[in-house]
Amino acid sequence: MARVLLIDDDAEIRETTAIRLQIGGHHVISAASPQEALTVAAAQPRFDVAVLDLHLPRADGDELLDLLRRNSATADLPVIFYSANTAHTTSVHGLSLADTRLTKGRPLKSLLATINCLSH
């Protein structure tokens, strides 16, 4: 079981993804914004992996990744970019710092397998 920090501004997607990850055996803490994610990450015991949306208000996924990397508590946290927008363009910078990238349209099995791989 992994401790997962899930960051997505869409409440329905965030809740559905959290439930699916919990059914898969993971402990999930959710955040709706980059600022909330940073606050949660600082206040909680260490996470095994972060799953973050690429399209967030006030900071996109790769900007949030930069902020996570600057924080000593989350500097080496494995990150999975996860986005409903499959036609998006992602900067090489964000991908080079993350461990993998998935889209919400792909099967849950892929996300669970990636989380399992990154958290062991």
Domain containing 110 — which CATH number?
3.40.50.2300
Residue appearing with tokens 């349209």: 105
User: Would the pTM count as exceeding 0.85?
Assistant: no
- Has residue 107 got a pLDDT over 70? no
How far is CA 12 from each of CA 18, 91, 93, rounded to the nearest angstrom?
Answer: 10, 26, 29
Q: What angle do CA 56, 73, 118 make, to 5 degrees?
A: 70
pLDDT of residue 92: 35
**Token pair for 17:** 């993804």
How many structural domains comprise the chain? 1
- Token pair for 3: 């401790």
Per-residue confidence (pLDDT) for residue 89, from 0 to 100: 44
User: Is pLDDT at 94 greater than 70 in this prediction?
Assistant: no
CB count within 10 Å of CB 26 equals 21
The two structure tokens encoding residue 40: 């949660």
Q: What digits encode the pLDDT tens for the residues 32-89?
A: 988 898 899 888 788 999 988 877 777 777 788 888 888 888 888 888 887 665 554 4
Taking residue 101's Cβ as centre, other Cβ atoms within 10 Å add up to 16
DSSP string computed for 24-66? TT-EEEEESSHHHHHHHHHHSSPPSEEEE-SS-SSS-HHHHHH
45: domain range?
3-118
Top pLDDT among 84 and 8 is at 8
